[in-house]
Structure formats: structure tokens, C-alpha cells
Structure 1
Amino acid sequence: MKIKDLTANISLDIFLLVKELEEDVTRNKDSYIKFLLSDGENDIHGIMWSASLEELGEGVKPGKIIKVRALVRNYKDNLQLNITNCRPALDKDKVNIKDFIKSVPVDPETMFNDFIRETENFNNNDLKNIVEKLLMDNKDKLIYYPAAKKVHHAVRGGLLYHMYRMFKNAQSIVSVYGSYINRELLFSGVMLHDIGKIKELDSSELGVVEDYSKEGKLLGHIVEGIVMVHDAASELGTPEEIELLLKHMIVSHHGVEENGSPKKPMTLEAEILHYLDEIDASVYQFEEALKGITKGKFSDKQFFLGNIQLYKSEL
């Protein structure tokens, strides 16, 4: 049985991949566990009352397949699992973890090769060399890394997919405003703006992030990206102006200080990069939040979209 086939008020046993796991407490100080689980196509939230992570043991954690016994309930127009018991999948269960991995709809190798093909046609050899170096040096991780632990593009290959959709939109914007934009600088910013996430996140090859790395917690992907560009530029002898412009695009791509940007965009390419990033992240969250919603209904509140409910139109 798949998550899309579930209906409210049925009890079932089902194998699912743990994507997120968090212990919390009720107002009465009773511990409980919040799950985010996946069948490889869709995700579903689960609650296990009067339980702690210590009681569950090491076998129940992000990136692991577990067998869940639960009651399916309707919570704010969304199905949720009220979990009564769970355990790690065993060899005798004969489940294949690859069947539970949520991946992007475009082949990561294809996306990566499209980036390399684009940079090969750059007229500016300094931009070409630094972008290609950072892509090629990190190809192994870029092929499977998600773009986040949660929120947007938190799937296998999600980081490349996020960059790829931004790149496609950037091509369209250049076709309209091309005379004002340095297209090669904009494309370079798209390909490098989140490169630091491969150091910020601790991801398995399945694209499941169990936690942020030590560097991720202490520095974050913006600082990590700046360091990566600086190191590559030093090795290649990249002109100072190009290094500075790329660093500025990374440091300003969140747009405003309250969203984590040390600087606001101060070049046209950095400004466009910021909006491309915002558009793709928001669209992805809409796509995911409305996947299982019936037409004419609202999603639950989306914290990262301003804590609003999203509406799925009947059109």
C-alpha cells in the first residue's frame, strides 16, 4: 500500500522511510515523537505519543526503513499516522531501501552535464575555469545531495534540481533583458550560489540528511560557499573582480538580512539570482504542500511560507 491510497480511520502495518524524527513534550511534560515518513513517492507526518527517542533505539532514525503500526487519522484536512508501534526493517522483511527514496524527476547526470556544456561555451575563460572546477571537484556529492534537510528540494538530487530550474528560468530572463545582464555571470551565480550546502549538510548517498555538519552549524552554507570560491580562485589565479562578484552573489542571494544575507544584492545579476532562488524555493513548497490536497481544499499551515494555508483551486 502507498501513502496516496490511505484513507482515514483505518489501522495498518506499513514500511516507510524515516526522513525526519524529533522528540517533543506535551503541556503535561509527556514526551512524544514527531515523524516525517516517505514511501518514495509521497510523504506523511506521524505522531507517536508517550514515547522517546531513547526507547525507539538506534535502528529508528533518518535514512532507515521502519515498519509502522498506526491508525490513519484526518488532521486539518491532511492524513496523519497515529503510530502505536514501530521497529527497524529486518532482513526477513525483504524491503529494498531504493524503493523508498524520493528523487528528482530529471536525471542528475543530465543536469550536471548541461551545466558543463553551458560553461564550455563561456567567452570569459576565468569564469569558465572557476565554475567548472567547483562543479567537477564536487560532482560526486552534487549528483545525490539534497538542497536542504527539509523545506525545499529535500530529496535525492534536490540541490542540482534547484540549480537546474533556476538555470532554466535564468535563460528565459536573459532572453528578455539580455542587453542589461551579464549572462555568464548570472549563470555562474546560479550554479555556485548553494555550493556550500555540500559542506553544510551531512547527507547519505540516498539524499537523506540526518543532521547539519559541524561546519554547517557553526558557519552555514553562505560562508562555506565563500570559502570554496576563495580557495578555487586562489588556486586558479582568478582575477580579483571575478572572485569578488561571485562572492557577492553568494553572500547576497537570500536578499535581506532577516533571511540570512549579510549583504543585499548590489549588482543586477545578484538581484536576479535572489529572485530566481525565491521563486524556485516557493514554487517547490507549493508543489509539495498541495500534492495530496483535494481540489477546493486548503493545506495545513506552511511555516516557511509565512505560516499560511495554501489553497488548491478547483480549476
Structure 2
Amino acid sequence: MKIKDLTVNASLDIFLLVKEMEEDMTRNNDSYVKFLLSDGENDIHGIMWSTSVKKLGEGVEPGKVIKIRAAVRSYKDNLQLNITNCRPVTDKDNVNINAFIKDAPLNSEDMFNSFLQEVEKFSNNDLKNIVKKLLMDNRMKLIYYPAAKKVHHAVRGGLLYHMYRMLKNAQSMACVYNQYINKELLFSGVILHDIGKVKELNSSELGIVEDYSKEGKLLGHIVEGVIMVHDAADKLGTPLEIELLLKHMIVSHHGLEENGSPKKPMTLEAQILHYLDEIDASVYQFEEALGNTSKGEFSDKQFFLGNIQLYRNEL
């Protein structure tokens, strides 16, 4: 059975992957555990009352598949599992964890190699060298890292997939708006804008983020990205102008101060990078929601898109 097949008031036993779990307390100081669970295609929230993470024991933890006994409930217009019992899987269950992992639609190695091939075309050797260094230095993590803990591209290889789609769009835009764009600088910014996420997030090789790292909580991926560019530039002797432009693209790619950017975009390449990032993140959220919505129907409310329901047209 898949999450998309669940109906309200159904009772069931089901195997699901734990993506997140968190202990909380009721007003009466009774502990309970909240889950985010996945079947490899879709996610669902679950809750187990009158228990604690310690009571659930080893094996019921993020990154593990567990067997759940639950009833399906509706909560704030979304389905939720009211869990009565759960346990780790055993060999007798014959469960393949990879069946519960959602991957980016494209192969990570292929995407990574496509970045290297594009960078090799650069005529500016300083840009070529710094981008190649940062790619190669972080290759192992980039192959499996998601782009976020949740919201957009939160899948194995999601960070590369996010970068890949942005680069494809950047290549097209550089042909249209070609009067003042330095396309090699734009492409470099696209590839490096989220490089700090490999330090911001603690991800397993399954692409599951259990939590933010200490650096992620104290600094965030924007600051980490700037540090990584600075360190690479220092080792390579990169000209200050190039180092500064790359840093500016990283610090401004969220666009507005209230969205986490210390600076607004002040170069054309930084402005285009910001909009490419916004487009790809929001389109991905639309794709995820509409993929679980029938034609002519509305999706569940999408909290990170302003709590709106999305309509899948009948065309």
C-alpha cells in the first residue's frame, strides 16, 4: 500500500521510512512523538501519543524503515497517521530500504560531470579553476546531498538537480539577455550559490537530513558558502574582483534581507541568479503537489507557497 492510496478512518499496517521524528509534550506534560514518514513517493505526518523517543528504542529513528500500525485521520485538511504501535524492520520483513528513498530524476554522476564539462569551456581560467576546485573538493557530498531538509529538492541528489535545472535556464537566459551578462560568471554563481549547504546540513547518504549542523545553525549556508569561496580563492590566488563577485552572488541570491540575504542583488548576474533560484524552488513545489493531484482537482494546502491549494488543469 502507498500513501496516495490511504483514506480517512482506515486502519492499517504499513512499512514507511522515518525522515524526521521529534519528541514533544502535551499541555498535561505527557510526552508524544511526531514523525515525518515516506514511502519513497510521498510523505505523511504521523503522531504517536503517550510515548517518547527513548521508549521507542534503537531502530526507530530517522533513516530507518519501520513497521507501523495506525489509523488514518484528517488534520488541517491533510491526512495524518495516528500511530498505535511501531517497530524496526527485521530480516524476515524482506524490506529493501532503497525502495523508500526518493531520488532526483536524473543521475547524480551525470549531472556532476555536466557541470565539469560546462566549466571546462570557460575562457576565464580564474573562474574555471575556482569552480572546479569547489566542485571536486565537495564531490562526495554533492552526489547524494538534498537541497534542503524539506520544502524543495529534499531528495537524494536534490542539490545537484536544483543546480542542474538552474544552469539549463541560465544558459537560455544568457542567450536572450546577452548585452551585459557575463555568462561564465552567471554559470559560476549558479553552481556555487548553494555550495554551503554541504556544511549547513547533516545528511545521510540516503539524502535524509536529520538536522542542521552546528555551522548550519550558527552561520547558515550563505555564510558557509562565502567562507568556502574565500578559502578556495586564497589557495588559488584568485583575483579579488572575481572572489568578490562570486561572494556577492552567494550573499544576495535570496533577494531580500527578510529572506536571509545580507545584500540585495547589485549585479545583473546576481539578479538573474536570484530569480532562477526562486523559479526552480517554487516550480519544484508545484510539481510535487500536482503530481499527487488528479486533473480537475485541487491539491492539499501548500504551506510554503502561502498556504494555497494548487489547481491541476484538465488540459
TM bucket normalised to smaller: over 0.9
Q: Write the deviation string for residues 102-145 of structure 1: whole angstroms up to 9, x where unpaired.
A: 10000001111110000000010100000011001111110000
Which position in structure 2 is the counterpart of 1:143?
A: 143
Superposition deviation, residue 256 in structure 1: 0.6
Q: Give the aligned partner of residue 33 of structure 1.
A: 33
Query: CA–CA distance in 1 between the matches of 2:267 and 2:93?
Result: 56
**2:231 — aligned with what?**
231
Q: CA deviation at 1:288?
A: 1.8
Letter in 1 for 2:284: Y
State how 1:137-286 maps to structure 2 within 5 Å: 137-286=137-286
Is the 1:70–1:82 contact (alpha carbons within 8 Å) kept by the matching residues of 2?
Answer: yes
1:95 aligned partner, one-letter code = V
Report the CA distance between 1:28 and its aligned residue: 4.8
Partner Cα separation in structure 2 for residue 111 and residue 48 of structure 1: 40
Look up the match of 2:134: 134
Q: How far did residue 75 of structure 1 move? A: 4.2
Structure 1 CA distance, aligned partners of 2:78 and 2:141?
A: 34
TM superposition shift of 1:261: 0.4
TM-score, length-scaled by structure 1: 0.94
Q: Could you tell me how far apart the structure 2 residues matched to 1:62 and 1:151 are?
A: 17
Judge which range, 296-305 or 277-286, deviates more.
Answer: 296-305
> Which 10-residue stretch deviates more, 149-158 or 172-181?
172-181
CA distance in 1, matches of 2:77, 2:294: 9
Q: Which amino acid aligns with 1:72?
A: V
CA RMSD, Structure 1 to Structure 2 (Å): 1.7
Q: What amino acid sits opposite 2:265 in the alignment?
A: P
1:170–1:39 Cα change, 3 Å: same
Residue 101 of structure 1: aligned partner = 101
Residue 195 (structure 1) shift: 0.3
SS at match of 2:144: coil
Letter in 2 for 1:194: D
Which residue in 2 is equivalent to 1:56? 56
Distance 1:18 1:297 in 2: 29
Aligned equivalents of 1:307 and 1:74: distance in 2?
A: 17
Over 3 Å counting, the alpha-carbon distance change for 1:202 and 1:241 in structure 2 is: same
| 1:94 to partner: Cα distance | 2.1
> Does 2:304 match 1:308?
no
Q: For residue 164 of structure 1, report the CA deviation from its aligned partner.
A: 0.5
Following superposition, the deviation at residue 100 of structure 1 comes to 1.1
Give the length in aligned residue pairs.
Answer: 315
Task: For 1:296 and 1:198, locate their aligned partners in 2 and report how far apart those are by CA, in whole Å.
Answer: 40
- CA gap 1:275/1:167 in 2 versus in 1, 3 angstroms: same
Gaps of 5+ in 1: none
Determine if contact 1:142/1:198 at 8 Å carries over to the other structure.
yes
Counterpart code for 1:275: Y
State how far apart, in whole Å, the 1-side matches of 2:178 and 2:117 are: 20
Which residue number in structure 2 is paired with residue 7 of structure 1?
Answer: 7
Report the Cα distance in structure 2 between the residues aligned to 1:83 and 1:216, rounded to whole angstroms.
32
Q: Which residue identity lines up with residue 129 of structure 2 in the other structure? A: N
1:26 Cα shift? 4.1
Please say if residues 299 and 311 of structure 1, whose CA atoms lie closer than 8 Å, have aligned partners that are also in contact. yes
Bigger CA drift: 142-151 or 73-82? 73-82
Distance 1:73 1:295, change over 3 A: farther
Q: How far did residue 171 of structure 1 move?
A: 1.2
**For residues 40 and 302 of structure 1, what CA distance do their matches in structure 2 show?**
20
Percent of aligned positions with the same letter in both sequences?
81
TM-score (norm 2): 0.94
Where 1:199 maps in the other structure, the secondary structure is helix
